Amino acid sequence: GDSVTQTEGPVTVSESESLIINCTYSATSIAYPNLFWYVRYPGEGLQLLLKVITAGQKGSSRGFEATYNKETTSFHLQKASVQESDSAVYYCALGRRNYNQGKLIFGQGTKLSIKP
Partner 1 sequence: NAGVIQTPRHKVTGKGQEATLWCEPISGHSAVFWYRQTIVQGLEFLTYFRNQAPIDDSGMPKERFSAQMPNQSHSTLKIQSTQPQDSAVYLCASSPRTGGALAEQFFGPGTRLTVL
d(CA 17, CA 110): 17
Give residues with Cβ within 8 angstroms of 53, minimum separation 6: 34, 35, 68, 97
Of 82, 105, 112, 114, the one binding partner 1 by CB under 8 A: 105
Of 11, 15, 26, 46, the one binding partner 1 by CB under 8 A: 46
Q: How far is the CB of 29 from partner 1 (least distance, A)?
A: 12
User: Please, which of residues 58-77 interact with partner 1 by CB under 8 A?
Assistant: none
d(CA 16, CA 115): 9
Residues that bind partner 1 (CB under 8 A): 34, 38, 45-48, 51, 53, 91, 95-109
